Structure 1
Amino acid sequence: MTSEGESRPAPDWVGDVGLGVQAWVGETPPTPAGPRPADARTAEERTGRKTRKGGRGRARTWEEREAARIAREEAAAAEVEADPESVARKILLDTLTGQARSRQELAGKLAQRGVPDELAAQLLDRFTEVGLIDDAAFARQWVESRHRSRGLAPRALKQELRRKGIDDDDASEALEQLDEADQRVAARALVDKKLRSMRGLDPQVATRRLAGMLARKGYAAGLAFSVVREALADAGEDGDLGDHPDF
């Protein structure tokens, strides 16, 4: 006890968040020690590598990591068995938070957690009815985002949408957002960026590489070659390979 008006000495853990948390939960923080001798380095400091801890100061063995994984899976399975509908709803809401998902993606999440197929279908139908799942809207958003951020053209985007489980009608409608002018602008941006690292390269070699890059992004051969030829001309290079480029 200190007398009134007498300042209380600051605890040893002040300024150390980790020690402060220990004090808050009732653990006794260790007493700060003085400077360590040169040979008192930790294994992490000596090797320069971080170790995963399983307990206090001991790296977990493979058996311990595997046992922990199995325990997590068994706990998750028990939770689903106890109240599958509540768990399934939470999975769907958590997955949809901050990002739209296709119905196929959500079905996969439920299957991974062991939600019964019949219940999963019922919930997916209900989420679709209230507008939380909308494959057509997802497809439009996906096309706009991937075209803007990655410069992908309709052919590549259609393949991605198919992998997401989007049907051909919704995919075609979404891809109608991209006209030829949009594709030319995006293709030219990709070519201009790539050209910066190709200074001094033979123009014909540069043309084939640039056209090949655009082909992998899903651009049609005619548009790709036209954009590449235009970009090289603006850069003062002659990359004309004729009317039939070899991608």
Structure 2
Amino acid sequence: MLKLANKTALVTGGSRGIGAAIVKRLAAEGANVIFTYVNSANKAEALVKEIESYGVKAKAIKADTGSAVQIDAAIAAATESGNIDILINSAGLFVTGGVEDETVDKNALRQQWDVNVIGVAHTVRTIVSKMNDGGRIITIGSTGAARSPYPGISDYSATKAALSAYTRSWARDLGTRNITANIIQPGLINTDMNPSDGPFSAAMVQAVALGRYGEPDDISAAVAFLASDDARYITGATLNVDGGQSA
């Protein structure tokens, strides 16, 4: 039985890595999926064709989550045929730089905040009027919200901590409509931004109880659960998918 049959999902940042895994898993569970991307239209269209092979509808929309204008246009396009049931906030930036590092690109740090926090908040505020009661809001955060395993990620960690606070408050705001809001905090996940064979992976994996990196499908499985009716009484929650890194 498909747990998300006849549901419509919008996934921001859905063309690569964790976002693409989420798009595929939601489609496999029967949801029609719309996703945004910033670069590589060819890759996005290839993903659309793959999703359609599951027998569901799919659409890719070029939109930068850091731009309110582009997000507004994307949501308008995504809701042309009806309301959204599931919103996945997956788009994000990772910019490093210690607080004493004078060479850090301050514009990049500001853009990180625009995409990771302001853009997500704007997306939620804009879409709730176009979301069906009983909907799901699932945000992809980071275990970095609660701990900083190495220097140079204070700004990134702060953005993810803000998302955790937002999620708890959205759960309160939207509970009367039976809309749930939860955040998934991945740990070490094997993506092109943080490959399991990277130069620092051997050192970082020592902090993981299971002794290995996770895969994007580990995150998409958690998303599919929270998006389903099985998770109807879970809201305002933080789910760490980190192989015990936070244990």
Give the TM-score band, short-chain normalised: under 0.3
> Of the two structures, which has the highest relative contact order with CA contacts closer than 8 Å and spacing of 6 or more?
2
Provide the TM-score with structure 1 as the length reference.
0.22
Q: Which has the larger radius of gyration?
A: 1
What is the TM-score of this pair, normalised by structure 2? 0.22
